Each structure stands twice: as structure tokens, then as C-alpha cells.
Structure 1
Amino acid sequence: MRRANKTASDNRGTIVIRRAPLNKSRAILRYGPLSMPAAIGRSGTTARKREGDGATPIASMRLLNGFFRGDRMRDLRTRLPMRRIRPDMLWCDEPRDPNYNRLVRRPLKASHEEMRRKDGLYDACLVLDWNVTSRRRYRGSAIFFHLIRPGFEPTAGCVAIRPADMRRLLTLIGRGTMLKVV
């Protein structure tokens, strides 16, 4: 994976996600002069995020790092720390497990998400700092910024965009970038 050339906006700025009118699971993403469609949680947005509620949290969240499928997303350019997804990578979403809302490895008996998904949603997947650096049980897990399903289907609480839009954004963002859902 190549790193993008350093620019004035490589690790600053805020990606703003605003719910679209007339559809609670659609949104508009804005980053500087860029504007693009996005999908959000099937339940819309909430200020009281809970595990399994299907809502995207209304919050400002740092982009911590990301994951990518090297066999599907080649030549990604970004200043954000990215790790290639391996087949044994999982994300624990069981609130009672000590690894709640953490990257773990197979085998894991607790409830989890596969990072190497067949549907391609996590071919490029950025970890948002929602309940990660300071975890609380049942406050929501695996809140990611990832790729969209065909037809802009709603997410389970994440933010999702088209692959071409993700590639474009990745060249502009870095460690200091925030994602703000309003």
C-alpha cells in the first residue's frame, strides 16, 4: 500500500455526516468541497446508542485506523494506519466478553463479526472511535466507516459509502481526521 503525498489537509478536518431528508437510513457526507451519498443505520441516528439498536451514533469520532482486503482493494493511498485483513481476524461484539469492541483472532466463542467478509463491505473499513478508547458495555460495537451495499441499503449502525468515494477520501484523510454525525 502506498502512502499519499503529504498535503495541508492530510490529517486534519472533519467529515460531516448529515441525515438525508425523507430517508432515515440515508445521509450526505461532506468533507471540504466534496459531497457524496452515504448510508447510515437502519434506525437512523441516535444520541443514546445501544448494542444492536441499528442506529448510527450522533457524535464526533476520530478515525483511529483501518483495515483492507489486499486481494480486492489494491493500491490504496492514505496517511491513515491500515492493516491487511487476514482470514483469522474478528471483531468481538459480545458486551459480556472482556474483548468487547476489540479486534480478536479466531477461534472465538463469543459473538463477533468477520472482518474478511464475503460481501465486500469491509474491503476498506475504517475504525471510528466509538466506544473503543473508552469502552462501556452495551454502548455499541463495530461502528465502522466502510463500503456500501448495492442500492445503498442501511447499515447496522455504521457509515458506508461507494468504493470509488472511499478511495478518493482515503487520499485526503489521516490520523487527525474526525467523522461527525449530526
Structure 2
Amino acid sequence: MVKSFLIITICQMFLWANEQIVLVVSDDFSSKKAVLSCFEDNKRVFDSFEVNIGENGLGFGLGKIELAQSETEPIKQEGDKKAPIGIFTLDAIFGYEKDLKIEMPYLYANENLICVDDSDSPFYNQIIEMPSEKPNSFENMRRDDAQYELGVVVGHNKNQIKQRGSCIFLHVEKSEDTPTAGCTAMRLEDIKKIIYWLDKNKNPILIQVTKSQLNEIAKLYPKLGIQE
């Protein structure tokens, strides 16, 4: 039994060591700002930089690994203007250019591409071409501003659980000090670094947490050398 446990642990550490990790850390649950760092093979890739997160801070989201949570800590809900806490896959890149030479799946944000935030729709939390019957609520991926000029799709709430939040992205900030409705936003030059670095074959993930959760992340990813 002990031997089996050790084998599983070693395999997990090997897989995690080969992941690309985008780590976003805020001071606390109500922070509107956070610091973003990127790691590959347990090494920092770029200098860390500041990003904007939810107008109402952070709430626990639905990701690939469940993190410890107390009953008093906030949960991410649809429309709450909180960015999700958790460990999430990074699934695709989207943008206004028709094509990009990148190592990730790419979604061209044309005038018909939408992300559905109608919790009652069968397309809830999906990016699709506008169907013949429009959802009651959706977000246009081709905006009149530059916020979706480039972005990354975050794998939050993949099971489409009603009212647990939708359309979560890394994208271009509206301005230096403008929080988001639930995404993580940054300067165009910073998101370009991330997009041209990400590689689908390296299992890219987003870890988004508060400083109080860094001990838990350090145990999951011990070789990163994360410190509070």
C-alpha cells in the first residue's frame, strides 16, 4: 500500500513538473488586484506583474482540483463580479486576428462568436457561433474595444453547473486600475507573452488563490518553491 502511494505521488510530481503554470495571487478575498507569475519545469519564466481581478474580489470556483474551503469563505456565483479561486485548465486562445501562429487551439472572435452566460441555456458557459434561437443572455466575443483583442479561455465550471459562473478568461485590461466582472485582466504586452508561451502539449493551468492558500498550493506543487 505504501509502495503504491509512493508511485502515485512520484507520478503526480512528474506530471506537475512538466505543466505550464500561471499563478495569480491576491492579498485576500476582497482584493481587486493580484500578482501573476508564470512557471515551466518548476522555473519562473517571466518577471511577475500586477493584474486586475474581480470587482468584488475572489470566490471559490469549480476547477480540476478541489481546494480546502471553510463555510465562511465566498463561493463564485453567476454575476457576482468575483474571479474564481482554484486550479483550472487553460483551454484555448481567442482574438480579433483571423489566425495566430501559436501552440494552443485558437478561436477567431468574429461578429457571430458569443459566450453564453444564460444559466438556463444548454449552451451555458460555452463559446459558440450564434444559434438560430438566441440565448437570453450572452457576451459578444468581438467587442468594440480591445479587451478581447487577445485572451485565454479558463476551464472554470466545465460541467455547466447552473449559476456557478461562466465566461472566465484572461484578457486585456480596460485600464490600469479597472477591476473586472470576474476575469483576470492585464496589459496587452503582458498577455502576448503568455499567449505565445502557452503550449497545449505542456498541460497549461491557472492557479488563482489568495495568499492564505499558498501553503496548500506549496504542498501540491512542492518543487515550485512557493512562499507566502
* Shorter-normalised TM range: 0.7 to 0.9
> Match for 1:89: what amino acid?
L
Unaligned 5+ segments in structure 1 are 1-10
C-alpha distance in structure 2 between counterparts of 1:123 and 1:14, whole Å: 22
Pick the aligned partner of 1:51 from 71, 78, 84: 78
Judge conservation of contact 1:50–1:140 (CA < 8 Å) in 2: yes
C-alpha distance in structure 2 between counterparts of 1:119 and 1:157, whole Å: 18
Alignment RMSD, CA only? 2.0
Whether 2:62 is the aligned partner of 1:42: answer no
Percent identity of the aligned residues?
A: 28
- 1:93 corresponds in structure 2 to 117
Deviation sequence 1:18-58 (CA, Å, 0-9, x none)? 1157x711111011242011110001111211000100111
C-alpha distance in structure 2 between counterparts of 1:79 and 1:169, whole Å: 11
Deviation sequence 1:54-79 (CA, Å, 0-9, x none)? 001110111001211017xx8x5531
Whether 2:173 is the aligned partner of 1:142: answer no
Judge conservation of contact 2:53–2:179 (CA < 8 Å) in 1: yes
Judge conservation of contact 1:66–1:125 (CA < 8 Å) in 2: yes
- 2:22 corresponds in structure 1 to 15
- 1:63 corresponds in structure 2 to 90
- 2:33 corresponds in structure 1 to 26
C-alpha distance in structure 1 between counterparts of 2:144 and 2:89, whole Å: 27
Runs of 4+ in structure 1 off by over 3 angstroms are none
- 2:157 corresponds in structure 1 to 131
Judge conservation of contact 1:60–1:178 (CA < 8 Å) in 2: yes
Q: CA deviation at 1:16?
A: 0.5
* 3-state SS in 1 of match to 2:125: coil
Judge conservation of contact 2:152–2:195 (CA < 8 Å) in 1: no
Unaligned 5+ segments in structure 2 are 1-17, 39-43, 61-74, 210-228
Q: CA deviation at 1:152?
A: 2.9
* 3-state SS in 1 of match to 2:176: helix
Specify whether residues 77 and 152 from structure 1 end up closer, same or farther in structure 2 by C-alpha distance, changes over 3 A only: farther
Specify whether residues 77 and 18 from structure 1 end up closer, same or farther in structure 2 by C-alpha distance, changes over 3 A only: farther
Q: CA deviation at 1:109?
A: 4.0
**Structure (1 or 2) with the larger CA radius of gyration:** 2
User: TM-score with structure 1 length normalisation?
Assistant: 0.85
User: TM-score with structure 2 length normalisation?
Assistant: 0.69
* 3-state SS in 2 of match to 1:151: coil
C-alpha distance in structure 2 between counterparts of 1:143 and 1:166, whole Å: 15
Judge conservation of contact 2:94–2:107 (CA < 8 Å) in 1: yes
Deviation sequence 1:109-133 (CA, Å, 0-9, x none)? 410001001121111121100012x
C-alpha distance in structure 2 between counterparts of 1:99 and 1:68, whole Å: 21
